[in-house]
């Protein structure tokens, strides 16, 4: 009976160690930065998640030679645009005007996306855009 | 009509506010009649909220487009079933569903416990307080009864929501999320009343179990929905919104286990009230996540003003619970202490630590983008590798514990006895592991471990049933005699099936992608898929284009698959129609996606072979069955408990 608090302490310290472990691994190890087209230039050659809105014409075939399109900042008005080259599955909701997230690397002015990493943000699962009502 | 809805909601707000204020005063001053009227106010609030809900349903049914909500979420051509399910397709309706379920649950819980006056006295105001928040939101911030000039047609429903699962998945999740309010309210009510006993646990055990079952089933339904409808070949993506439902479920799982320790041994009292508060906070946090749009998610929701309100409410709940638990710490002293690190209590404690650690690591992953944004200005996010790492490091030990825990004696177990108990399961596990390694499944270490541990757990569960049957003579009598225990084992069996299914379909899946012309074929993992032709047909509100793909193995034809795409003109978007062949040979699926269909007939076909994936869905049925067994009323046990509490000092 007398020894049991010590054991609880052991259990709790195990929990604490785990917590530190988590903090450590996630700060030091994991995590991909989310970047918008206007600040992409500072992350040349780095693996990032590019978040933005599709603008202009979508060209090419994602299953043969790659699909090309331009991306601008979601809420930005300045003409910061990034050329994106993508191949692999294209979500149903992908088209000009949609917000997307795509993972890849900026190489020589073109954002080369990882195949299959394109994700569209569902435009309204729960909330319609309030601005137009 | 809209005026009636608004009036009903205002009335609900008044009633729950009365339950909060009047109920608190009554409990404080011990005014019995006032307390009774506060209880009745909760019952009445359910009635008025039901009226509001019926008004919305009628509007949806009539496609009354003068309701802004109806116009935004339905269209004239939308089939009736989906139009009715638009109730929870939008934010305002979802909030109304929250309030409806909350008042319904509250009314029922208070009614069932009306005889235990002292127990519900402080529970009523807590329930009322939660109700006030949601009723206030519905009346003044996000009303489903706003009206405007009716447009020619509504905006329609997002195509991927037009699926039978839309009828079941959201309500199930809500029944789960909201259900966690009841144990929270009883726990807090019990603390407010300065009770130190376990009555609140007994009163809410079935509520927790019910909420937990709904939450589990809701998630599996959502997973299956994503699997058959969204068409990316998976069922869980560690998306923040999915995690939002998983976290409270994990914490509720921990709670379900640790309350047993408090019931049997009077330990872990502080821990239990903390868990129940954490589970409730996570369910509010989940609603906040899905609504506020602060974290980008594939289910993304545009920024909405209600995020701030939820954050405020969450802050109040946290301050209230932490403060109350702190003030009542002297009441929460344990009756007994942990005697040995090898005992049932200890294994429950390990299980709890692992479950909570898993939930908190997921929480960390979810809020990580916000934290990095706040700390160094760039948003960083973690993805699948992070979550997989922690799922493996916490989930696999949990799986193993599931086989060990139930067989370890209470208080103190000897290593010698343990050796005897576990000889057979351990042997089964070793043989299984060896056989799988021989069969070449060593390609994935987590997969191999998951299977080996699953074999261990399955053997120990089977052994328990065999031993029990030998003692009682029949399985039914055995289960009837201790429903909680054997219901629990069935749920454990479901988790084993789930683990096998998840490991099989993720660690051992094969994915191939190819562009095909009509007549061309591709090979995937022993299957041959031949693209034959393309066809189109008109559905009620969509145009469907689908390919005819012949599936064969060796030289024998097995099935004809029809992967395609549907175009929804009203919603101006398309949706994937995946085509799946369930292979009884390996309990897996051949999953085909028409990634692209070109005008010249070229088909970009994506094929996933997912062995054992159907066990994931089978697990759902076993899970529900096991939960039902565990929550089925048990007269013998009820009597035993009543005697126990009669003997306890109050």
What is the per-residue DSSP string for B223-244? HHHIIIII-SS-S----HHHHH
- Dump pLDDT digits (tens) for B528-550: 999 999 999 998 888 999 999 99
Q: Which residues from A are below 8 Å from B293, CB to CB? A: 127
Predicted complex ipTM exceeds 0.95: no
Question: What backbone phi and psi angles, to 5 degrees, belong to B612?
Answer: 65, 5
A2 CA: distance to closest CA in chain B (Å) = 9
Pairing type for strands B564-568 and B556-561 reads unpaired
Give the CA angle between residues A82, A86, A88 to the nearest 5°: 160
pLDDT at residue A2 tops 50: no
pLDDT at residue B409 tops 90: no
Band of pLDDT at residue B481, cut at 50, 70 and 90:
confident
Global pTM? 0.90
pLDDT, residue B646, reads 61
Q: Which residues from A are below 8 Å from B382, CB to CB? A: 26, 30-32
Measured distance CA(B364)–CA(B390) in Å, rounded: 11
pLDDT, residue A129, reads 34
Q: Are B581 and B551 in contact (CB under 8 A)?
A: yes
The pLDDT > 70 percentage for chain B reads 96
- Average pLDDT (B568-593) is 88
User: What is the full DSSP assignment across A61-125?
Assistant: ETTBBEEEEEEE-SS--S--EEEEEE-S---TT-STT-EEEEEEEEETTEEEEPTT--EEPPS-S
B338 CA: distance to closest CA in chain A (Å) = 5
> Which of B380, B394, B563 to mutate against chain A (most A CBs within 10 Å)?
B380
Q: Are A61 and A67 in contact (CB under 8 A)?
A: yes
Q: Please judge whether B515 and A64 are an interchain contact, meaning their C-beta atoms are less than 8 angstroms apart.
A: yes
Give the CA angle between residues B353, B219, B268 to the nearest 5°: 25
pLDDT, residue B197, reads 82
> Which of B97, B225, B268, B302 to mutate against chain A (most A CBs within 10 Å)?
B302
Q: Please judge whether B380 and A33 are an interchain contact, meaning their C-beta atoms are less than 8 angstroms apart.
A: yes
Closest CB from A64, A119, A128 relative to B298: A119
Measured distance CA(B305)–CA(A49) in Å, rounded: 26
Q: Are B632 and B483 in contact (CB under 8 A)?
A: yes
A55 CA: distance to closest CA in chain B (Å) = 17
> Which of B337, B385, B391, B575 to mutate against chain A (most A CBs within 10 Å)?
B337
Measured distance CA(B216)–CA(B222) in Å, rounded: 10
pLDDT, residue A125, reads 41
- Average pLDDT (B33-51) is 96
Q: Please judge whether A22 and B296 are an interchain contact, meaning their C-beta atoms are less than 8 angstroms apart.
A: no
DSSP state of B293: -
Q: What are the angstrom distances between the C-alpha of B60 and each of A123, A133, B98, B161, B446? A: 22, 19, 18, 16, 48
B24 CA: distance to closest CA in chain A (Å) = 35
pLDDT, residue B648, reads 53
**Mean pLDDT, rounded, of chain A:** 74
- Dump pLDDT digits (tens) for A46-105: 888 888 888 888 888 887 788 899 888 877 666 668 899 998 888 777 888 888 888 899
pLDDT at residue A19 tops 80: no
Pairing type for strands A119-120 and B543-553 reads unpaired
Q: Which residues from A are below 8 Å from B575, CB to CB? A: 92
The 10 Å Cβ neighbour count of residue B327 is 12
- Dump pLDDT digits (tens) for B621-642: 999 999 999 988 777 767 776 6
Helix, strand, or coil (residue B536): strand
CA A52 from chain centre, in angstroms, equals 10
pLDDT at residue A121 tops 80: no
pLDDT, residue B24, reads 96
pLDDT at residue A25 tops 70: no
A98 CA: distance to closest CA in chain B (Å) = 12
Q: Are B383 and B332 in contact (CB under 8 A)?
A: no
- Dump pLDDT digits (tens) for B78-97: 999 999 999 998 889 999 99
- Comparing B425 with B570, the larger pLDDT belongs to B425
Band of pLDDT at residue A20, cut at 50, 70 and 90:
low
pLDDT at residue B649 tops 70: no
Q: Please judge whether B304 and A130 are an interchain contact, meaning their C-beta atoms are less than 8 angstroms apart.
A: yes
pLDDT at residue B107 tops 80: yes
């Amino acid at each position: 009976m007398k020894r049991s608090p010590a054991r609880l302490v052991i259990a709790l310290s195990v929990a604490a160690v785990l917590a530190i472990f988590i903090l450590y691994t996630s700060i030091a190890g994991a995590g991909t930065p989310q970047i918008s087209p206007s600040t992409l230039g500072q992350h040349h050659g780095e693996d990032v998640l590019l978040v933005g809105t599709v603008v202009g014409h979508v060209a090419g075939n994602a299953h043969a030679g790659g699909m090309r399109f331009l991306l601008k900042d979601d809420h930005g008005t300045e003409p910061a645009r990034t050329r994106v080259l993508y191949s692999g599955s294209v979500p149903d909701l992908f088209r000009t005007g949609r917000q997307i997230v795509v993972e890849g690397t900026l190489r020589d002015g073109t954002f080369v996306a990882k195949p299959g990493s394109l994700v569209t943000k569902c435009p309204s699962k729960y909330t319609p855009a309030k601005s137009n009502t | 009509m809209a005026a009636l809805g608004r009036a009903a909601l205002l009335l609900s707000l008044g009633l729950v506010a009365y339950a909060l204020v009047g109920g608190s005063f009554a409990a404080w001053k011990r005014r019995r009649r006032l307390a009774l009227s506060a209880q009745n106010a909760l019952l009445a609030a359910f009635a008025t909220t039901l009226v509001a809900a019926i008004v919305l349903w009628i509007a949806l049914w009539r496609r009354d487009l003068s309701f802004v909500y109806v116009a935004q979420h339905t269209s004239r051509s939308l089939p009736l079933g989906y139009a009715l399910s638009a109730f929870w397709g939008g934010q305002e309706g979802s909030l109304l569903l929250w309030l409806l379920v909350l008042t319904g649950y509250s009314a029922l819980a208070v009614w069932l416990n009306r005889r235990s006056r002292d127990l519900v006295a402080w529970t009523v105001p807590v329930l009322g307080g939660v109700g006030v928040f949601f009723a206030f939101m519905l009346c003044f911030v996000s009303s489903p009864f706003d009206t405007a000039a009716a447009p020619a047609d509504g905006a329609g429903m997002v195509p991927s929501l037009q699926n039978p699962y839309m009828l079941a998945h959201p309500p199930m999740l809500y029944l789960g999320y909201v259900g966690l309010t009841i144990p929270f309210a009883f726990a807090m009510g019990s603390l407010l009343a300065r009770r130190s006993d376990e009555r609140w646990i007994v009163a809410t055990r079935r509520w927790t179990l019910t909420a937990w079952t709904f939450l589990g089933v809701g998630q599996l339904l959502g997973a299956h929905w994503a699997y058959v409808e969204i068409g990316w070949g998976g069922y869980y993506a560690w998306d923040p919104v999915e995690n939002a439902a998983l976290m409270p479920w994990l914490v509720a799982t921990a709670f379900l286990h640790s309350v047993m320790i408090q019931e049997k041994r009077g330990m872990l009292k502080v821990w239990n009230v903390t868990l129940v508060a954490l589970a409730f906070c996570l369910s509010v946090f989940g609603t906040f996540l899905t609504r506020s749009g602060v974290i980008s998610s594939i289910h993304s929701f545009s920024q909405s003003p209600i995020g701030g309100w939820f954050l405020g409410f969450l802050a109040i709940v946290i301050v209230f619970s932490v403060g109350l638990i702190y003030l009542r710490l002297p009441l929460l002293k344990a009756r007994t202490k942990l005697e040995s690190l090898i005992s049932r209590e200890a294994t429950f404690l390990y299980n709890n630590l692992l479950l909570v650690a898993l939930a908190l690591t997921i929480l960390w992953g979810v809020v990580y983008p916000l934290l990095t944004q706040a700390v160094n200005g760039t948003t960083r996010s973690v993805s699948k590798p992070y979550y997989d790492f922690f799922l493996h490091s916490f989930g696999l030990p949990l799986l193993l514990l599931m086989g060990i825990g139930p067989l370890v004696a209470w208080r103190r177990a000897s290593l010698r006895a343990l050796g005897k108990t576990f000889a057979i399961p351990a042997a089964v596990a070793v043989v299984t592991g060896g056989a799988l390694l021989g069969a070449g499944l060593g390609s994935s270490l987590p997969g191999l471990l998951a299977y080996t541990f699953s074999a261990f757990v399955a053997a120990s569960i089977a052994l328990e049933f065999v031993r029990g049957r030998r003692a009682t003579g029949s399985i039914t009598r055995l289960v009837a005699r201790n429903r909680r225990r054997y219901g629990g084992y069935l749920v454990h069996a479901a988790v084993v099936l789930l683990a096998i299914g998840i490991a099989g379909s993720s660690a051992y899946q094969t994915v191939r992608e190819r562009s095909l012309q009509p007549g061309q074929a591709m090979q995937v993992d022993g299957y041959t898929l031949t693209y034959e032709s393309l066809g189109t047909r008109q559905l009620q509100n969509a145009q469907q284009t689908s390919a005819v793909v012949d599936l064969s193995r060796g030289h024998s034809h097995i099935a004809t698959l029809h992967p395609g795409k549907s175009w929804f003109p009203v919603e101006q978007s398309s949706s994937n129609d995946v085509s799946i062949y369930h292979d009884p040979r390996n309990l897996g699926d051949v999953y085909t996606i028409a990634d692209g269909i070109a005008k010249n007939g070229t088909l970009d076909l994506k094929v996933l072979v997912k062995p054992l994936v159907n066990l994931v869905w089978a697990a759902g049925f076993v899970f529900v069955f096991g939960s039902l067994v565990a929550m089925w009323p048990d007269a013998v046990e009820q009597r035993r408990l009543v005697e126990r509490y009669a003997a306890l000092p109050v």
